[in-house]
Structure 1
């Protein structure tokens, strides 16, 4: 690991006659509230069977990262993030917000102010059925509590966490 880090660090530096300078820069989203075409993120959102958005200009997207919910706007730092089950909120240029529930996936945030979301499944939140979510939550809660074998318990935990996030997205309580 140290050798790889050392190699990468060396590849980012340029020797000057007196000092070394880093080539790469970090950029962060601005807090400017004025919205124009130059302040927008280019956003693409795909699932295996469909492209939901391709190169759409948006103000902000909010993502359910594996380490917590985070927002992405223009000039966000480049990163790749695993996404857990949860809600993606898309804030469009006109101020409208749109929400999709995803079962998981990856976000690729690029230095050119573009973001690509690849999800396993995605549905508009308003298409989720609260009754089915309650039933699924009850089913996977029971499976999780009754199962002791590690593999079925892991499957039950994944189902439970997914249905918990769907319930949260819909405001459903048991």
Structure 2
């Protein structure tokens, strides 16, 4: 089967760099499947799970807190704000992040709309992390 190169980069390190058959990424507009020869684009990512398919089966699940992806016909580069293998997510840590994000959103009620929107994005990403941790 045809493949493309997938790279997942976080501020701390390069988490993944290899040929894959398919990747499903959490785009802001909704989950997006990427196959070889995909149309070129740059997409914003929300908090969610990247699912990697190799050899006809899902081989890896990585949680990201958001970021961007550059897609070309032969490569996908994901620049993630934060990335963690789903298997290593902690339910307690995810629950704590949800509480912290919700508190920050509550404190931003009188702030500018763009600040409230960023706070809401953090809440949604933390909730996605909590869901992924519970499913792992």
TM-score (norm 2): 0.83
CA distance in 2, matches of 1:155, 1:96: 32
RMSD: 2.2
> 2:3 pairs with 14, 32, 40, which one?
40
Structure 1, unmatched stretches of 5+, are 1-35
Higher strand share: 2
Match of 1:108 in 2: 70
1:70 partnered with 2:24: no
Name the counterpart of 1:132.
Answer: 93
Distance 2:107 2:11 in 1: 34
How many residues were matched structurally? 133
Contact 1:40 1:93 in 2 (8 A): no
Shift in Å, 1:140: 2.8
2:102 matched residue in structure 1: 141
Corresponding residue SS for 2:96: helix
- Give 1:130 shift: 0.4
Structure (1 or 2) with the larger CA radius of gyration: 1
Q: How many angstroms apart in 1 are the aligned matches of 2:16 and 2:97?
A: 29
Q: Secondary structure at the match of 2:57?
A: coil
Q: Does 1:80 align with 2:42?
A: yes
Q: Deviations over 1:125-173 (max 9, x none)?
A: 111110121232233334434642225644542331121111222237x
Is 2:21 the partner of 1:59? yes
Structure 1 runs, 4 residues or longer, greater than 6 Å off: none
Q: 1:92 to 1:143 in 2, by over 3 A?
A: same
* Matches for 1:156-171 after TM superposition, within 5 Å: 156-171=119-134
TM-score relative to the length of structure 1? 0.67
**Alpha-carbon distance in 1 for matches of 2:68, 2:105:** 26
Instruction: Determine if contact 1:63/1:89 at 8 Å carries over to the other structure.
Output: yes
